[in-house]
Amino acid sequence: MVKFYGYDKCGTCRKAKTWLDAKGVAYSSIDIAENPPPKTLLKALLKEYGLKALFNTSGGMYRELDIKSRLAGMTDTQTIDLLAQHGMLCKRPMVSDGKRHTVGFKGEMFAKVWG
């Protein structure tokens, strides 16, 4: 089953859900604020997309915690721990079936992975 970590008020998440619905991709929707992605998923995404791709850099929490200046001094483990504790720091949506993963939404990327 595909797990969709997103936020209902996020326009990008709504676009991604609309795309998945149109393609008939079944998914389980998980509120990323209440249930952040597990560390195993975050580690897989880190390996596949890199560190900067995992953060919601336009979010208020990112600015409040001054992540931009702290990131260079953080280990991968510290970064994963932070993201696993604070789902609103995560770029949305994060979608995974356990083997394939995407971060954010771009139609071409979704077509390649989920199409």
Give residue for tokens 């720091």: 89
Residue 86 pairs with which residues in a beta bridge?
none
Backbone angles phi, psi at 9, to 5 degrees: -85, 0
In the prediction, which pLDDT does 52 show?
86
Exposure string of 33-46, with b = 16+ CB inside 10 Å and e = fewer, is: beebbeeebbebbb
Average pLDDT, the chain: 95
Give residue for tokens 């770029």: 91
pLDDT, tens digit (0-9, with 9 covering 90-100), for 42-52: 999 999 999 88
d(CA 4, CA 68): 26
pLDDT, tens digit (0-9, with 9 covering 90-100), for 24-82: 999 999 999 999 999 999 999 999 999 889 999 999 999 999 999 998 899 999 999 99
In the prediction, which pLDDT does 72 show?
87
The full set of domain ranges for the chain reads 2-114
d(CA 19, CA 25): 9
d(CA 107, CA 15): 9
pLDDT, tens digit (0-9, with 9 covering 90-100), for 79-112: 999 999 999 999 999 999 999 999 999 999 999 9
Backbone angles phi, psi at 104, to 5 degrees: 75, -170
Helix (H) or strand (E) holding 98: none
Class of domain 2-114: alpha beta
